[in-house]
RNA sequence: AACUCCAUGGUGUAACGGUAGCACAACAGAUUUUGGUUCUGUUUGUCAAGGUUCGAAUCCUUGUGGAGUUGCCA
């Protein structure tokens, strides 16, 4: 019972629906075409979710094709990381792994085809001369003095280019289109250049390499891609994409459709800037948990599902928008709230002594693993005379709205007892060193006492003797300006100096020892945290994935 | 003042000539053994001006604003 026009399909899916309805295509083939010259970031995730998502929905297929036409920049290291990232996101190209370099032979033939049809020529001009001859946005270009070489001479020269007789930059092959075309891409674009550099797959077989424009559409056609989805900046290339399909004996007719790339506030997304952050050591690497790379996001503890949901939420349009990072974080919290097991952890410990609790006694309390999933049951948490609580959960001079522990005030220790603070112990300098408290045995398990007494807060705690010591890394946005891309001066001047805070003395509930690397859990009342790759059994390291929504912090800020 | 594209609350995104809806954010309240979650409510919008039409966010015209493009990068 499918609605002929189910609500809120994006414009690309509407085009596909129509192509299927009119019989233009009887199946749908998309492709994700990264250049293996860097790590994937969340912007790529949008494209991956679109292309692989469409293939899944339409029961078609999505090819993974590496656009490896520039040997100077590319490396197999990146091929591997890109594959890993796509799989982590939950997508699969099946048998359809391709490389543009697989088509070098065919593309060469097609270049010869153009020459033979008088539609391409070898140009001896330098790149400076070519630039001068191209004209500009207001003025038409001028034709190259080599534009009207004979067919034979062009063929001969092109073959000698291939044979390695010329140095880099000495000659190029150009399509012969129109030097006065209003679209600069159509002013006799270069389609082959000489590059004497080893290619990561073809080695030194070639010393001439096709340009992106001469590769992409033809590769799509060779793979019978029906819809070639790319970002807006290729809009001006579409006429050229189509010109090659029109002028070459290609086996199919793909259609290029452009959509808007993903932008997030408070972050940079360009490969160049990301690379700079890594190379100048502003971050620890491509997988630094503050990076918008897929590997960074993964290490940070964002679930793949939340990235997929986020991409669904932001939609596909041609409007150049900037999304709120809070929307991403909300997707992350939504998934984690449902899935993450709860534990207690104290980030900044303050010692508590329960003076009326027997010295050697230890009790184990049952604590719910996840209130969203009661079927998961409970875990045991040890309680004893000496405990740690969060420094932020105690105030000596508490304002009225502060519900947590304060002198002569009572709170619930989660799943344990009502605890009253009786005495604040300080050192000579006046710093609070510990709190002396008493517990109410009638509130075992955290139950309300028979006298009907209520408390306004429940706080988390960890038994001092049983606690695991750990390092916890708190992350914040890398930039403190909304749009670090369009800022006067360098984007680096707007980095957030507090984007990483390391807490070396956190104390964890002992159950946390069993959490494997990469898994994200909730530290109750604090946020979601995952075990970092740096973590060892002896020295656990947790990353804060994202904090919980904190309405107390807001109240505090308002004063 | 070239060519191409874009314009809906604070941020995104729907509405395909017929009630401007949803999410995030913000604010208020209820629930709560997480100041979490959940629930309820509130605030805020069709870039402008004309035209077509019974009726326009939607179609037409003009204007305004923004983006991309002058690589032998992709």
State yes or no: pLDDT of A453 exceeds 60.
yes
- What value does the mean pLDDT take over residues A32-55? 97
State yes or no: pLDDT of A246 exceeds 50.
yes
User: Looking at A9, A83, A253, A271, which residue is catalytic?
Assistant: A271
User: Looking at A73, A261, A318, A351, which residue is catalytic?
Assistant: A261
Confidence of residue A2 (pLDDT cuts 50, 70, 90): very low
State yes or no: pLDDT of A228 exceeds 50.
yes
Q: How far is the CA of A236 from the C1' of B5 (A)?
A: 9
In the numeric block, which tokens belong to residue A123? Answer: 């140009």
A35 is catalytic: yes
- What value does the mean pLDDT take over residues A278-286? 96
pLDDT tens profile A404-432:
999 999 999 999 999 999 999 999 999 99
Ramachandran bin of A413, using left for φ above 0, alpha for ψ from -120 to 50, beta for the remaining angles:
beta
Query: What span, in angstroms and rounded, lies between the C-alpha atoms of A282 and A500?
Result: 11
Return the closest nucleotide (C1') to the Cα of A195.
B72
Name A residues 461-520 whose Cβ lies under 7 Å from strand B: none
Q: How far is the CA of A315 from the C1' of B60 (A)?
A: 29
Nucleotides of B under 7 A from a protein CB: 1-8, 10-16, 21, 23-27, 33-38, 66-74
Compute the mean pLDDT over every residue in chain A, rounded to the nearest whole number: 96
Query: What span, in angstroms and rounded, lies between the C-alpha atoms of A198 and A554?
Result: 57
Name A residues 188-227 whose Cβ lies under 7 Å from strand B: 189-190, 193-195, 209, 211-213
Q: How many residues does chain A have?
A: 559
Return the closest nucleotide (C1') to the Cα of A67.
B74
Query: What span, in angstroms and rounded, lies between the C-alpha atoms of A52 and A450?
Result: 59
- Measured CA to CA in angstroms, residue A539 lies from A26, A64, A274, A508, A517 at distances of 57, 39, 30, 12, 12
Tell me, what's the pLDDT at A7? 60
Query: What span, in angstroms and rounded, lies between the C-alpha atoms of A161 and A129?
Result: 19
Name A residues 420-459 whose Cβ lies under 7 Å from strand B: 445-448, 457-459
A378 touches strand B (CB under 7 A): no
For residues A245 and A272, the answer to whether their CB atoms sit within 8 Å is no
A271 is catalytic: yes
φ/ψ of residue A214, rounded to 5: -85, -5
Tell me, what's the pLDDT at A557? 83
Q: Decide: helix, strand or coil at residue A354.
A: strand
Q: How far is the CA of A11 from the C1' of B51 (A)?
A: 28
Q: Decide: helix, strand or coil at residue A107.
A: helix
pLDDT tens profile A102-161:
999 999 999 999 999 999 999 999 999 999 999 999 999 999 999 999 999 999 999 999
Confidence of residue A3 (pLDDT cuts 50, 70, 90): very low
User: Virtual CA dihedral for A337, A340, A343, A348, nearest 10 degrees?
Assistant: -70
Tell me, what's the pLDDT at A69? 97
CB atoms within 10 A of CB A270: 12
A231 touches strand B (CB under 7 A): no
- What value does the mean pLDDT take over residues A150-173? 98
Tell me, what's the pLDDT at A486? 85
Return the closest nucleotide (C1') to the Cα of A444.
B33
Q: How far is the CA of A318 from the C1' of B49 (A)?
A: 26
A261 is catalytic: yes
Tell me, what's the pLDDT at A5? 44
ipTM over 0.85: yes
Q: How far is the CA of A12 from the C1' of B16 (A)?
A: 14
Name A residues 46-65 whose Cβ lies under 7 Å from strand B: none
Return the closest nucleotide (C1') to the Cα of A446.
B33
Return the closest nucleotide (C1') to the Cα of A128.
B72
State yes or no: pLDDT of A1 exceeds 60.
no
A522 touches strand B (CB under 7 A): yes
Comparing CA positions, the residue from A106, A30, A32, A105 lying closest to residue A66 is: A32
- What value does the mean pLDDT take over residues A548-555? 94
pLDDT tens profile A50-100:
999 999 999 999 999 999 999 999 999 999 999 999 999 999 999 999 999
φ/ψ of residue A343, rounded to 5: -145, 165
Q: How far is the CA of A553 from the C1' of B29 (A)?
A: 19
Return the closest nucleotide (C1') to the Cα of A37.
B74
- What predicted TM-score, i.e. pTM, was given to this entire model? 0.96
Q: How far is the CA of A315 from the C1' of B44 (A)?
A: 22
């Amino acid at each position: 019972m499918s609605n002929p026009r189910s609500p809120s399909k994006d414009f690309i899916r509407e085009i596909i629906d129509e192509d299927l309805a009119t019989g233009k295509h009887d199946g749908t083939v998309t492709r994700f075409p990264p250049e293996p010259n860097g790590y994937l970031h969340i912007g790529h995730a949008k494209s991956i979710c679109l292309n692989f998502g469409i293939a899944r929905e339409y029961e078609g297929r999505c090819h993974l094709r590496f656009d490896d036409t520039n040997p100077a920049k590319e490396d197999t290291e990146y091929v591997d990381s890109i594959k890993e990232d796509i799989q982590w996101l939950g997508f699969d190209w099946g048998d359809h792994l391709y490389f543009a370099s697989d088509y070098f032979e065919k593309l060469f033939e097609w270049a010869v085809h153009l020459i033979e049809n008088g539609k391409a020529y070898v140009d001896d001009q330098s790149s400076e001369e070519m630039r001068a001859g191209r004209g500009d946005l207001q003025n038409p270009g001028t034709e190259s003095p080599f534009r009207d070489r004979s067919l034979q001479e062009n063929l001969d020269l092109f073959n000698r280019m291939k044979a390695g007789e010329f140095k880099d930059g000495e000659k190029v092959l150009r399509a012969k289109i129109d030097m006065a075309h209003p679209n600069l891409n159509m002013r006799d674009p270069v389609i082959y250049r000489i590059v004497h550099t080893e290619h990561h797959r073809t080695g030194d077989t070639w010393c001439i390499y096709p340009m992106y424009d001469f590769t992409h559409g033809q590769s799509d056609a060779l793979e019978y891609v029906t819809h070639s989805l790319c970002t807006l900046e290729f809009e001006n290339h579409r006429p050229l994409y189509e010109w090659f399909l029109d002028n070459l004996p290609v086996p199919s007719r793909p259609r290029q459709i452009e959509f808007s790339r993903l932008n997030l506030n408070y972050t940079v997304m360009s490969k160049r800037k990301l690379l700079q952050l890594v190379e100048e050591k502003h971050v620890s690497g491509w997988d630094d948990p503050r990076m918008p790379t897929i590997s960074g996001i993964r290490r940070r503890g964002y679930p793949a599902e939340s990235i997929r949901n986020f991409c669904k939420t932001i939609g596909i349009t041609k409007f150049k928008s900037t999304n709120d990072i809070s929307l991403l974080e909300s997707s992350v919290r939504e998934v984690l709230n449902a899935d993450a097991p709860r534990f207690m952890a104290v980030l900044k410990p303050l010692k508590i002594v329960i003076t009326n609790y027997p010295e050697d006694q230890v009790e184990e309390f049952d604590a719910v693993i996840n209130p969203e999933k009661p079927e998961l049951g409970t875990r045991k948490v040890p309680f004893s005379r000496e405990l740690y609580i969060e420094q932020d959960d105690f105030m000596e001079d508490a304002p009225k709205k502060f519900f947590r522990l304060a002198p002569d005030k009572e709170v619930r220790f989660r799943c344990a007892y009502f605890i009253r603070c009786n005495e604040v112990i300080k050192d000579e300098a006046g710093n609070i060193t510990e709190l002396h408290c008493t517990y109410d045995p009638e509130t075992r398990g955290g139950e309300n006492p028979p006298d009907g007494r209520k408390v306004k807060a429940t706080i988390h705690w960890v038994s001092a003797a049983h606690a695991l010591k750990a390092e916890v890394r708190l992350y914040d946005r890398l930039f403190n300006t909304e749009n670090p891309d369009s800022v006067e001066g360098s984007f680096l001047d707007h980095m957030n100096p507090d984007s990483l805070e390391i807490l070396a003395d956190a104390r964890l509930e002992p159950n946390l020892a069993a959490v494997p690397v990469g898994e994200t859990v909730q530290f109750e009342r604090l946020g979601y945290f995952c075990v970092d790759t740096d973590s060892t059994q002896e020295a656990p390291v947790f990353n804060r994935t994202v904090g919980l929504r904190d309405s107390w912090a807001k109240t505090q800020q308002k004063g």
